């Protein structure tokens, strides 16, 4: 993973990578089929980037808060929200992996392709649990085990995808119930050793009991 400065530099061209846009669109479609949105919901997108996932949701909820540790990504996120005429979108510049507290209370927390960049996922999940309203839902999309091949540059990549059974156990330990998972997307890309490989992305959800 590039460092934060690189993400800031790359933010303006982030949406020009069509396979990324297609992948996030597929994840958004899967999320929309699994979660019932309502005009009363407060939603947080952790690792929102330029909003390729969560800006699909914003028109159907009360508020959308994007959280990212890249100021450049958040700038593009807010610019896109303004262009779409969305008045219910805000942004927080935070790094939860460094222990910065997550403010607010939410009905839904979503995260897409961010958790493999988080070193201490247990601590972040505990923050999510605390920030959810009773009955609130968490939805995380990330890579199935990838043998370290998905990222050509592994800097700041702390997990080579996730074993779904182990990830489910981590959610249970954080307090979540009613945990479910589905395949949300797949990507075929070239790998450093030559040739191509198919990578799959899961969507796992859990609920904070009322």
Instruction: List, edge to edge, every strand of the sheet that includes 132-143.
Output: 89-93, 63-68, 42-46, 106-112, 132-143, 196-207, 177-190
Give tens-digit pLDDT for 63-80: 999 999 889 999 999 999
Dist. CA 29–CA 174, nearest whole Å: 27
With CA atoms as reference, report the closest residue to 162 among 142, 138, 182. 142
The whole-number pLDDT of residue 151 equals: 84
Partners of 109 in the β-ladder: 44, 138
Instruction: For residue 7, name the pLDDT band (cuts at 50, 70, 90).
Output: low
Tell me: pLDDT of 3 over 50.
no
With CA atoms as reference, report the closest residue to 95 among 50, 56, 64, 127. 127
Q: Are 148 and 154 in contact (CB under 8 A)?
A: yes
Give tens-digit pLDDT for 175-204: 999 999 999 999 998 887 778 999 999 999
Give the CATH number of domain 4-207. 3.40.50.150
Q: Are 207 and 138 in contact (CB under 8 A)?
A: yes
What is the value of pTM for the model shown? 0.91
The whole-number pLDDT of residue 5 equals: 46
CA triple 30-147-112, angle to 5 deg: 30
Tell me: pLDDT of 22 over 70.
yes
Q: Which residues contact 207 (CB under 8 A, 6 or more apart)?
A: 135, 136, 137, 138, 176, 177, 178
With CA atoms as reference, report the closest residue to 14 among 23, 146, 30. 23
Mean pLDDT of 128-146: 97
- Ordered by start, the domain boundaries in the chain are 4-207
């Amino acid at each position: 993973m590039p460092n934060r400065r690189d993400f800031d530099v790359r933010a303006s061209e982030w949406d020009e990578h069509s396979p990324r846009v297609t992948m996030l669109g597929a994840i958004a479609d899967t999320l929309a089929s699994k979660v019932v949105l309502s005009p009363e919901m407060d939603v947080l997108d952790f690792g929102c980037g330029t909003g390729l996932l969560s800006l699909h949701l914003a028109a159907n909820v009360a508020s959308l808060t994007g959280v990212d540790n890249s100021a450049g990504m958040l700038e593009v996120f807010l610019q896109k929200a303004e262009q779409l005429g969305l008045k219910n979108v805000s942004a927080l510049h935070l790094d939860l992996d460094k222990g910065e507290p997550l403010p607010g209370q939410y009905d839904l927390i979503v995260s897409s392709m961010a958790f493999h960049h988080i070193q201490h996922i247990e601590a972040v999940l505990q923050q999510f649990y605390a920030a959810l309203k009773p009955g609130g839902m968490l939805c995380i999309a990330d890579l199935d085990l990838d043998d370290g091949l998905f990222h050509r540059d592994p800097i700041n990549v702390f997990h080579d995808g996730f074993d779904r059974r182990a990830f489910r156990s981590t959610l249970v330990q954080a307090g979540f119930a009613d945990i479910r998972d589905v395949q949300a997307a797949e990507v075929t890309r070239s790998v450093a050793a030559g040739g191509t490989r198919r990578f799959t992305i899961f969507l796992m959800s859990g609920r904070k009991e009322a």
